[in-house]
Amino acid sequence: MAKINIVGVGPGSPDYVTPLAKKTVQQADLVIGAQRSLNLFKDEIKGETVALTAKNLKTTLKLAAELTQTNKNVVLLSTGDPGFSGLLHTVLENELFEAADINVIPGISSIQVCAAKAAISWDNALLITFHEGNVSDEEKQVLDLAVSSGEDVILLPDSKAFAPKDIASYLIDGGVDKETPVMVCENLTLPEEKITSSTLAEVSKQTFRSLCVMVIKSKRAVDC
């Protein structure tokens, strides 16, 4: 059976790339990924490369599927962990890979790094991604209910569709306490990493970089 490798590359720093990810890339005939992901493996790549963009996603995945059918060793690089707001979902939803053996190499997600920075036990937090671009009312309501009921929430905003300031404004308009604690982590593990500890009220007035993770802490827990 043809096999496709989906490799998690971590949050951005080469320090967070796993040895297994490097080994898998070294063995690949073709490595596909965003340019910044390819750059992480410049010393490991032995085969061909294709820089993945939003514009060539469809044609590049078709190429990957065709090559796996000829027993070529193909690697798809996925930022963070492939299973959370990563390429695994895209591949699973693509009929071109229905007959493929999907091999997933997990990576360290920015969600995990953010939880560590915030000292949150993230098995008790609600994890949400808005990276799909089309944010539905139902998804917003899930967020509102979680915050209103006192859950810790760790989420990936969408810089265009639902940015941190939009999220903060939405929650305040829905009746959430504007002094609810918020942490926004930008460019985690990179030299320009920045962590802002604030409140919903302050975040609603600010603009953050596209590579960010947002933590909304339980106001009830903080008050206690």
Beta strands in 41-193, from DSSP E residues, in sequence order: 48-51, 74-78, 101-105, 126-129, 153-156, 181-186
Residue 94 Ramachandran class (φ > 0 left, ψ -120 to 50 alpha, else beta): beta
Quote the domain boundaries for residue 167: 111-223
145 and 183 part of one domain: yes
117 and 217 part of one domain: yes
Strand 48-51 vs strand 30-33: parallel, antiparallel, or unpaired? Answer: parallel
SS3 215: strand
Q: What are 77's strand-pairing partners?
A: 7
Separation of alpha carbons 73 and 47, rounded Å: 9
pTM of the prediction? 0.90
- Tokens, residue 140: 């917003």
92 and 130 part of one domain: no
Instruction: Give CB contacts under 8 A, 24+ apart, made by 196-202.
Output: 200/168, 200/171, 200/172, 200/176, 201/168, 201/172
Query: Which CATH number is 19's domain given?
Result: 3.40.1010.10
135 and 191 part of one domain: yes
- Tokens, residue 196: 């802002």
Q: How many structural domains is the chain composed of? A: 2
53 and 125 part of one domain: no
Query: Which CATH number is 141's domain given?
Result: 3.30.950.10
pLDDT, tens digit only, all 224 positions of the chain: 678 999 999 999 999 999 999 999 999 999 999 999 999 999 999 999 999 998 999 999 999 999 998 989 999 999 999 999 999 999 999 999 988 999 999 999 999 999 999 888 888 899 999 986 668 888 899 999 999 999 999 999 998 889 999 999 999 999 999 999 999 999 999 999 999 999 999 999 999 999 999 999 875 444 43
Single residue among 46, 78, 108 that ends a domain in this structure: 108
Residue type for position 115: A
Single residue among 74, 108, 142 that ends a domain in this structure: 108
User: Which residue is it, tokens 């695994």?
Assistant: 88
94 and 37 part of one domain: yes
- Tokens, residue 199: 């409140």
117 and 94 part of one domain: no
Residue 53 DSSP label: -
Single residue among 91, 108, 125 that ends a domain in this structure: 108
